[in-house]
């Protein structure tokens, strides 16, 4: 796979564009009256398309091309904004206020800048490669390490067994769950889904995590940074000390699952 899109602007320069796109998604959702399924593909709703159209227009105006869950990858050689206009669509469709807009700029195979907007709380996470991670303008500090036995772990899909952690949460929005690991509300995140996640689900949260001192890897050892629309990955996130135990648990629980991505 050939990467394209040099990062001529400094990564921090992208934040204005990403914030404008997130604001556009907020406005589109506030004015949207179609919260039902589109009927075009499973799990897609009218509000997904409204937020996608608004955010994509802002990203294009900012000189980026877009890889979106809803509309695919645009051709060209500009840096790519990897967009999930509504991460947690099922939550949103059912009135559960835990969903987000997630955007991450990738150029030369490197995540450069990211914004994740929590539509339920109004909180906004930002990260710049080498420049730290922030929640509503406050830098996220390196967080307390916990043992596996005391950890609260967010999972996507069904964990095929007992992991040995203290408690588990299944919240339904990977970008926000990763940001929760970054800011210490959660201790780890594991994708146990059979199909895996698209890069739009996790890249925004990945950069927030890494800039906050949290490790994020693929459970199968693959590169998580991809702009292939069909690619699926199994992100696993935890603080450095906890990651080995989390990965060992992931391998133990999934080693007999032949249907995993």
pLDDT tens per residue, range 107-120: 989 999 999 999 99
Q: What is the pLDDT of residues 149-164, one digit of tens each?
A: 999 999 999 998 889 9
Contact assessment for residue 20 and residue 53, using Cβ atoms and an 8 Å cutoff: no
Q: CB neighbours of 110 closer than 8 A, spacing ≥ 6?
A: 7, 129, 225
Distance CA 218, CA 30 (A): 35
CA 202 to chain centre: 3
Global pTM?
0.92
Q: 18-62 pLDDT, tens per residue?
A: 999 999 999 999 998 877 677 677 778 889 999 999 999 999 999
The rounded distance, in Å, linking the Cα atoms of 6 and 181 is: 30
Which residues are bridge partners to 25 per DSSP? none
pLDDT tens per residue, range 203-258: 999 999 999 999 999 999 999 999 999 999 999 999 999 999 999 999 999 986 65
Task: Please give the pLDDT value at position 2.
Answer: 33
> How wide is the angle at C-alpha 3 spanned by C-alphas 207 and 103, nearest 5°?
30
State residue 71's pLDDT score: 83
Give residue 207's pLDDT: 98
Give the Cα separation of 149 and 128 in Å (integer). Answer: 32
- Is the Cβ–Cβ distance between 83 and 56 less than 8 Å? yes
Q: At what angle do helices 14-30 and 46-61 cross, to 10 degrees?
A: 150
Residue 10 pLDDT? 63
Helix (H), strand (E), coil (C) string for the chain: CCCCCCCCCCHHHHHHHHHHHHHHHHHHHHCCCCCCECCCCCCCEHHHHHHHHHHHHHHHHCCCEEEECCCEECCCCCCEEEEEEEECHHHHHCCCCCCEEEEEEEECCEEEEEEEEECCCCCEEEEECCCEEEECCEECCCCCCCCHHHCEEEEECCCCCCCCCCEEECCCCHHHHHHHHHHCCCCEEEECCCCCECHHHHHHHHHHHHHCCCEEEECCCCCCCCCCCCCCECEEEECHHHHHHHHHHHHHHHCCCCCCC
Which domains, ranges and CATH numbers included, belong to the chain?
Answer: 11-139 (3.30.540.10), 148-254 (3.40.190.80)
């Amino acid at each position: 796979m050939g990467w394209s899109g040099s990062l001529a602007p400094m990564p921090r320069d992208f934040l204005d564009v990403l914030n404008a796109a997130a604001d556009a998604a907020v406005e589109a959702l506030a004015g949207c009256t179609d919260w039902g399924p589109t009927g075009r593909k499973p799990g897609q709703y009218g509000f997904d398309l409204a937020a996608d159209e608004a955010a994509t227009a802002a990203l294009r105006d900012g000189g980026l091309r877009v890889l979106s869950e809803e509309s695919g990858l645009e051709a060209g050689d500009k840096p790519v904004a990897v967009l999930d206009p509504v991460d947690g669509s099922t939550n949103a469709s059912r009135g559960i206020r835990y969903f987000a807009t997630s955007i991450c700029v990738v150029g030369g195979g490197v995540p450069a800048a990211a914004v994740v907007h929590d539509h339920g709380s109004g909180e906004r996470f930002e990260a710049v490669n080498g420049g730290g991670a922030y929640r509503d303008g406050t830098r996220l500090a390196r967080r307390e390490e916990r043992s596996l036995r005391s950890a609260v772990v967010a999972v996507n899909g069904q964990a095929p067994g007992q992991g040995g952690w203290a408690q588990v949460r299944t919240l339904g929005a990977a970008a926000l769950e990763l940001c929760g690991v970054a800011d210490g509300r959660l201790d780890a995140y594991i994708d146990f889904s059979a199909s895996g996640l698209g890069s739009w689900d996790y890249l925004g949260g990945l950069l927030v995590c890494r800039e906050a001192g949290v490790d994020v890897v693929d459970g199968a050892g693959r590169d998580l940074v991809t702009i292939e629309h069909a690619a699926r990955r199994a992100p696993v996130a935890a603080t450095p000390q906890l990651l080995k135990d989390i990965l060992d648990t992931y391998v133990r629980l999934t080693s007999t699952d032949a249907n995993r991505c």
